[in-house]
Amino acid sequence: CFEAKGKQIYGRIYPWGLIDIENSNHSDFLKLRNMLIIHMQDLQQVTHEFHYENYRLEKLQLKKYDEPQRKLLQEKDNELRRMQDLLCKVQGQLAEKL
């Protein structure tokens, strides 16, 4: 962050000139920042439902369980697969919109 022409600029100075990251002519930073802000809730939800659930299932499968617990684990596994399919579908729709 530095000051140029009387205003605060976020960027970098090179020998050939100044790069302002908030100038969309030579930086995608604003688009990236807006996308992250808009989809933050989705990112948090995917992290919890996909990554955490995969980790949890992996740890549970390492332990020995009796039949009722295995059935519950299988149901959770099926639910996780369904959510992953839904996630892929939604990501595909988002990619088409962009």
Q: What is the pLDDT of residues 24-58, one digit of tens each?
A: 887 888 888 899 899 998 888 888 888 888 888 88
Burial classification of residue 75, based on how many CB atoms lie within 10 Å of its CB (0-12 exposed, 13-18 middle, 19 or more buried)? exposed
Whole-prediction pTM: 0.42
Q: What is the pLDDT of residues 3-13, one digit of tens each?
A: 777 888 888 88
CA distances from 92 to 86, 88, 96 (A): 10, 6, 6
The 3-state DSSP class for residue 2 equals: strand
Which residues 6+ apart lie within 8 Å of 64 measured at CB? none
